[in-house]
Amino acid sequence: MENSNNLHYFEKAPIAKAVAHFAIPMMLGTSMSVIYSLLNAYFLGTLNSTPMLTALALTLPLFSIIMALGNLIGVGSSAFISRLLGEKRYDDVRHASAFAFYSSLALGIVVIAVALPLVDFIVNKLGATPDSFGFTKDYVTFMIIGSPIIILFNTLENIVRAEGSAMKSMIGMILSVVVNIILDALVIFVFNWDVKGVAAATVISTLVASLFFTFHIGKRSRFLTFSIKWFKASKEILGNVFKVGVPVFIMSVFLGAMSLLFNRYLVEYGEQAIAAFGISSRLLQMPEVILMGLCEGVVPLIAFTFTANKVRMKHTIQFTIKVILTLAVVFGVVVYVISDHLIGIFTNDPLLIEMGSYILHVTFLSLFITGMTTLFTGIFQATAQGTAAFIMSIIQGITLIPVLYIANQINGFHGVVWSLVIADAVSFFVGAIMLYVLRNKLQTDLESLPQ
């Protein structure tokens, strides 16, 4: 059976093979999601409209917040589910998965009820210019209406991966991307729907993938369920889900807020600066999400071995660090060689290419640091270290706010760009210190568990 094979990777497979089983599908799936994000920008770029590209960049914070709600339930539930599997508490896995499913839909409905009447207010707060206001409003409206589906998709992907079905998780993510790409081409080149079409394509593609995950859970999964009879909001479920999920949610909101704050500062330097940051951010997403896929992919393995095999957990973490370093070096070299050509794919504006290339050069300096920071956060999530995970969720945002203000005052546009690297470095050192401090506590917790 598929689930028995999954347990083999949790318990007995060689470390490199086990990490590959969990991480490679996640890395491929998240990479595909960035590809369709890049293709969104590419398709809109063919229309030679800077306001459309600006609208796409301005809506990143909103999309981050909606995804954050999916992380609130999905990441918190997935870490808990993997620990429960390590303890062989299979009925509790079913309770947790049913809770994740219905809570995600409920959150999405709340988003519609609260945000839809405030569309104009949200668009203004996102920093839309007069030229980009209409395009930004179209995108925001579709994202709000589709929020239950987007949140559910993110949750289901997490809990399917938590039970060890990494390939199914990857297939669902890739399915979403493929459908999105096809729809993007149709809505822009055939139906001429511009930004509205891109937003609608995103929602429809996540719906298709959500149906795939739902079919897997209903027909193929031994441990997961969305049956209402298994729904349970016990104190244990709520505590374990939100202890991990709330820090992840806050971190995701901070990322959206930082993107919004960044756009606010970049407005001073013209729409080209915002568009350049939007393009370079999407390009940077590719290596970032590959490293994120690696780190998030191994979280179920770390969580399972945390309750089952402490030596295996240590070896998993050590091997993952080596892979992060290797990938960061390879990506960094590639980007420094061809950055102008990468930006040039999306625009022929010389100023846009120059600004985007510069942003890429600077932000890639912290690629290894961000990879390690993601791993630290994953370790804290997997081992139920809620306080440490919470600190990791806010430290970058807390650091970036004053650094951004000071750097902008001292060095203008260059200071704004470099502030990201400084905030990343602070997050890395804080995470490393907490992991060092907690190492004895984790060791004690592990030794107290039944062997």
Instruction: Read off the pLDDT of residues 154-180 as tens digits, 9 standing for 90 and up.
Output: 899 888 888 878 788 888 888 888 898
Per-residue model confidence (pLDDT) at position 255: 64
CB 99 within 8 A of CB 89: no
Distance CA 147, CA 263 (A): 23
C-alpha R_g of the chain: 21
In which element (H, E) is residue 46 found? Answer: none
CA gap 120, 109 in Å, rounded: 19
What type of residue is 100? A
CB atoms within 10 A of CB 269: 16
pLDDT greater at residue 345 or residue 424: 424
User: With contact defined as beta carbons under 8 Å apart, do 12 and 154 qualify?
Assistant: no
Better-predicted residue by pLDDT, 398 or 175: 175
Q: What pLDDT, on the 0 to 100 scale, is given for residue 341?
A: 75
The pLDDT of residue 207:
94
146 in Cβ contact with 153 (< 8 Å): no
Q: Work out the mean pLDDT of the chain and round it to a whole number.
A: 80
- Specify the pLDDT at position 48: 66
In this predicted structure, the answer to whether residue 86 has a pLDDT above a threshold of 90 is no
**Spatial separation of the C-alpha atoms in residues 125 and 101, rounded to whole Å:** 31
Q: Is the confidence at residue 295, as pLDDT, over 80?
A: yes
Nearest to 349 by CA among 57, 50, 41: 50
Q: How confident is the model at residue 149 (pLDDT cuts 50, 70, 90)?
A: very high
Above 50 in pLDDT, residue 449? no
Amino acid of residue 120: D
Is the entire prediction scored with pTM above 0.75? no
2: pLDDT strictly greater than 60: no
What whole-number distance in Å separates Cα of residue 178 and Cα of residue 186? Answer: 13
Mean pLDDT within 44-50: 68
Residue 451 pLDDT > 60, yes or no?
A: no
pLDDT surpassing 60 at residue 3: no
Mean pLDDT of 137-159: 89
Q: How confident is the model at residue 148 (pLDDT cuts 50, 70, 90)?
A: very high
CA distance 328 to 319: 15
Q: Is-contact 377 392, C-beta < 8 A?
A: yes
Percentage of the chain beyond pLDDT 90 is 9
The answer to whether the beta carbons of residues 79 and 248 sit under 8 Å apart is no
* Residue of 75, 28, 63 whose CA lies nearest to 289: 28
> What average pLDDT does the segment 96-110 reach?
91
